[in-house]
Amino acid sequence: GIQVEQSPPDLILQEGANSTLRCNFSDSVNNLQWFHQNPWGQLINLFYIPSGTKQNGRLSATTVATERYSLLYISSSQTTDSGVYFCAGPVAGKGGSEKLVFGKGTKLTVNP
């Protein structure tokens, strides 16, 4: 099955700094997604980005499907950005569904 690798595994920033998180896939994907899990465990879908670039406030994401990677950019980081960032890609599941396979995540800590 598809392998999803995220880097770096841990990242510590000072408030206001910028960062780039990377997600590599072992196979082509057609609906890659980025999630943020806050310290309370809630998973928020940040981007559905099969290809190209999308922006949402201080966050943006770029997926280069032909090269099997995606990047998540965080600009002017804030303490509320802390948590774990996951990327996930689909693989064919049982019964005709698509299941999301998650990477191990990047744990981001933003210090004031």
Partner 1 sequence: SAVISQKPSRDICQRGTSLTIQCQVDSQVTMMFWYRQQPGQSLTLIATANQGSEATYESGFVIDKFPISRPNLTFSTLTVSNMSPEDSSIYLCSVEPGLRTKRFFGPGTRLTVL
Residues near partner 1 (CB under 8 A): 30-31, 33, 35, 41-43, 45, 48, 86, 88, 93-95, 97-100, 102-105
Q: Considering the complex, what minimum distance in angstroms separates the CB of residue 76 from partner 1?
A: 25
Q: Considering the complex, what minimum distance in angstroms separates the CB of residue 74 from partner 1?
A: 19
Is the CB of 44 or the CB of 64 nearer to partner 1? 44
Is the CB of 58 or the CB of 99 nearer to partner 1? 99
Is the CB of 31 or the CB of 75 nearer to partner 1? 31
Dihedral sign (CA 106, 30, 46, 55): positive
Is the CB of 35 or the CB of 110 nearer to partner 1? 35
